[in-house]
Amino acid sequence: MEILYPVGDAATGARIDRAGYERLYAEAARDPEGYWRDEARRTLEWITPFTQVKDTSFDAADFRISWFADGELNVAANCLDRHLATRGDQVAIIWEGDEPGETRRVTYRELHAEVCRFANVLKANGVRKGDRVTLYLPMIVEAAVAMLACTRIGAIHSIVFGGFSPDSLANRIQDCDSRLVITADEGCRGGKRIPLKANVDKALAHCPGVERVLVVRRTGADIAMVEGRDVWWHAAVEGVDADCPAEPMNAEDPLFILYTSGSTGKPKGVLHTTGGYLLWSAATFRDVFDYREGEVFWCTADVGWVTGHSYVVYGPLANGATTVMFDGVPNYPDHGRFWETIDRLGVNIFYTAPTAIRALMREGDGWVAKSSRRSLRLLGSVGEPINPEAWDWYHRVVGERRCPIVDTWWQTETGGILIAPLPGATDLKPGSATKPLPGVRPQLVDAEGAVLEGATEGNLVIADSWPGQMRTVWNDHERFFQTYFSTYPGKYFTGDGCRRDADGYYWITGRVDDVINVSGHRMGTAEVESALVAHPKVAEAAVVGMPHEVKGQGIYAYVTLNAGEAPSDELRAELRSWVRSEIGPIASPDALQFAPGLPKTRSGKIMRRILRKIAEGDVSNLGDTSTLADPGVVEQLVAGRV
């Protein structure tokens, strides 16, 4: 039976209550121009006020997405300068290292000075407005400083998650043509070291365009520095002026690129722009977390993912909040790390992923019970559907039934949260991201694109633009249109399946394309397949998702070897580590089955539906296999399941 948790004490003092939500939603639907004009004016500080608001069309004939087009602003000025007069001495970032208690607090005034100084370093190294800068860093304060310094001078940052391989890093550097890379000697995660600088060195063997590498000293490891190319961060900032004017940027100027996996081809460079993105991350942070002055907010994501961009850095800082940057993992030094840290730092709002909740839930309630968690007011979830069991544990054990859970649905492409409860306004149902935020128009459509009404299930599309939406795929505007706007003409297609219940609540059911959501991280099946076939012994590979108790989805790979090669456990292990080194640990297959042949139609198309069913262990009903070129393949696959 479906349980409903009515808005309780969360309504007290909430910025938006039940009636408020209804009113705002109706207002934004009736007059988007007026609604966003007011929101953009009151949420951000503009250098040149905009006179245009919304200029968007998802139709092929006049496709365009532009918001506040003639306005000018600067992101760093919005995140730092405007807070100095009122909260210069308030802590902006609490950094918590891999070791508990390894903490650093940086005030708004200090952060402002560091950002200005580093912005001058970037300039001195030839970085100009519009140039791309690649960041390959741990979760250290310097990551936020580098991001904000880029925005201060109008450079476009591209952050590559530290868990990606040298090859993946090289591809991303080449795709956007960065000439400057910022990294650290090493990262620390769960007591282990990550050789970031060594990875950069390997990547740069394929990136002749990179002229400068700035290196943060994090662990003090002995690393190689290339004469004339590599410079220590601490040496570069020494004696540099902390005065650096914020560059007036057009609202539609690029802000950052973030690569994300799709169903086909190489990862895409998702491009976000200055005004719309900042408005979206700032307003959603304020409203969904109902942020209150002085509170400590902790989003556990890495800045290498979009969640870290929007809710570790930009959303919180634009609101003058205190944000926690965590450079560790949930199970180090033990399974009580999150809860102990919440007590020690006085965290009021905690935002994490279902995979972490499930992993900790398995370790029992004892680890949680050791902490008081008295400071907590609100909990959040992001990255994948949260199963009701995990939701219940998070609510009952972690939040002691006091704290509402905001289950936030969004994507790298959307810039920030689109569907989520507002704590003071929305009754909760475990497992549902509940309702769209004001200004967001979700629809469910069938395979032909017909809009489905009422309680139903279908493909999730968004019918109209919102300011935070991505503007293009870097260097490939055609791919942008094809990927998101051609499947259902006139609408943005999310790639997700979704159910809507009789109360109008949305329940995301997962990806409907060839993307796997592993521990809340997106992995394209095509990417893993091409890594596998790059191995000299592999003839062909097909990759699908499979249910995984902790990760949500795991990666299941079917591999056909070249003639003369024999399957073995050693080769299986070798292929898994091959994928780790080609892409990164997150892409390593959880299961790998050697398959003499793959199920193909007579035209040679792999029938993934069948592979998915076998991977799920659901072999009783494989559906129609009569169109297969060789139906015998299926029996072999079922027999060889791992």
Alpha helix (H) residue ranges in 98-245: 108-124, 141-153, 166-176, 196-204, 233-237
Selected binder of ligand PRX within 44, 376, 382, 470 (CB under 6 A): 382
Asked whether position 260 contacts ligand PRX by CB under 6 A, the answer is yes
Q: Which of 348/494 has CB closer to ligand PRX?
A: 494
Q: Which of 511/576 has CB closer to ligand PRX?
A: 511
Asked whether position 302 contacts ligand PRX by CB under 6 A, the answer is no
Q: Which residue type occupies 459? A: N
Q: How far apart are the first and last CA of the chain?
A: 35
What's the CA gap between 295 and 283, in Å, rounded? 16
Asked whether position 522 contacts ligand PRX by CB under 6 A, the answer is yes
Q: Which of 433/444 has CB closer to ligand PRX?
A: 433
Q: Footprint of ligand PRX on residues 410-429 (CB under 6 A)? A: 410-412
Asked whether position 514 contacts ligand PRX by CB under 6 A, the answer is no
Q: Which residue has the tokens 């591809």?
A: 171
Nearest 5 degrees, angle CA 238-CA 244-CA 250?
140
Contact of 595 with 636, CB cutoff 8 Å? yes
Q: Which of 515/592 has CB closer to ligand PRX?
A: 515
* Among 65-73, 151-159, 211-219, 381-389, the segment contacting ligand PRX (CB under 6 A): 381-389
* Among 264, 254, 334, residue whose Cα is nearest residue 75: 254
What's the CA gap between 523 and 517, in Å, rounded? 6
Residue 77 CB, shortest distance to ligand PRX, in Å, is: 26
Residue 419 CB, shortest distance to ligand PRX, in Å, is: 8
Selected binder of ligand PRX within 351, 394, 409, 466 (CB under 6 A): 409
DSSP string covering 585-636:
GGGS-SEEEE-S---BBTTS-B-HHHHHHHHHT--S-----TTBS-THHHHH
Question: 558-583 burial, b for 16+ CB within 10 Å, e for fewer?
Answer: bbbbeeeeebeeebbeebbebbbebb
Binding site per annotation, positions for CoA = 189-192, 307, 331, 519, 580
Asked whether position 517 contacts ligand PRX by CB under 6 A, the answer is yes
Q: Which of 73/258 has CB closer to ligand PRX?
A: 258
Q: Which positions from 51 to 90 touch ligand PRX by CB under 6 A, shown as an x/- string?
A: ----------------------------------------
Q: Which positions from 457 to 496 touch ligand PRX by CB under 6 A, shown as an x/- string?
A: -------------------------------------xxx
Binding site per annotation, positions = 189-192, 307, 331, 383-385, 407-412, 496, 511, 519, 522, 533, 535, 538, 580
Q: Give the three-state DSSP class for 67.
A: strand
Q: Which of 383/467 has CB closer to ligand PRX?
A: 383
What's the CA gap between 20 and 41, in Å, rounded? 19
How many residues lie near ligand PRX (CB under 6 A)?
22
Selected binder of ligand PRX within 111, 508, 544, 595 (CB under 6 A): 508
Asked whether position 500 contacts ligand PRX by CB under 6 A, the answer is no
Sign of the CA dihedral running 382, 386, 390, 395: positive
Strands 591-594 and 268-273 come out as unpaired
* Among 243-251, 369-377, 379-387, 582-590, the segment contacting ligand PRX (CB under 6 A): 379-387
What's the CA gap between 504 and 436, in Å, rounded? 10
Binding site per annotation, positions for ATP = 383-385, 407-412, 496, 511, 522
Asked whether position 554 contacts ligand PRX by CB under 6 A, the answer is no
* Among 137-145, 163-171, 505-513, 525-533, the segment contacting ligand PRX (CB under 6 A): 505-513
DSSP string covering 425-442:
T--B-TT--B-BPTT--E
Residue 347, token pair as written in the block: 């965290």
Distance of CA 405 to the CA centre of its chain: 19
Selected binder of ligand PRX within 154, 383, 468, 599 (CB under 6 A): 383
Residue 452, token pair as written in the block: 């489905």
Asked whether position 356 contacts ligand PRX by CB under 6 A, the answer is no
Contact of 112 with 81, CB cutoff 8 Å? yes
Q: Which positions from 16 to 35 touch ligand PRX by CB under 6 A, shown as an x/- string?
A: --------------------
What's the CA gap between 131 and 152, in Å, rounded? 13
- Residue partners of 30: CB distance under 8 A and separation at least 6: none
Selected binder of ligand PRX within 273, 352, 408, 465 (CB under 6 A): 408
Residue 172 CB, shortest distance to ligand PRX, in Å, is: 15
Residue 4 CB, shortest distance to ligand PRX, in Å, is: 18
- Helices first, then strands: H and E counts in the chain: 21, 31
Selected binder of ligand PRX within 307, 426, 525, 553 (CB under 6 A): 307
How many Cβ atoms from other residues are within 10 Å of residue 486's Cβ? Answer: 11
Contact of 272 with 470, CB cutoff 8 Å? yes
Asked whether position 407 contacts ligand PRX by CB under 6 A, the answer is yes
Selected binder of ligand PRX within 142, 384, 514, 529 (CB under 6 A): 384
* Among 341-349, 355-363, 383-391, 468-476, the segment contacting ligand PRX (CB under 6 A): 383-391
What's the CA gap between 605 and 239, in Å, rounded? 62
Contact of 323 with 93, CB cutoff 8 Å? yes
Taking CA atoms, 601 is separated from 81, 82, 622, 625, in Å, by 61, 61, 15, 9
* Among 150-158, 160-168, 335-343, 508-516, the segment contacting ligand PRX (CB under 6 A): 508-516
Q: Which of 53/470 has CB closer to ligand PRX?
A: 470
Asked whether position 306 contacts ligand PRX by CB under 6 A, the answer is yes
Contact of 288 with 59, CB cutoff 8 Å? no
Asked whether position 96 contacts ligand PRX by CB under 6 A, the answer is no
The partner residues of 538 in beta bridges, in order of sequence, read: 561
Q: Footprint of ligand PRX on residues 173-212 (CB under 6 A)? A: none
Residue 505 CB, shortest distance to ligand PRX, in Å, is: 12
Residues in touch with ligand PRX (CB under 6 A): 260, 306-307, 382-385, 407-412, 433, 494-496, 508, 510-511, 517, 522
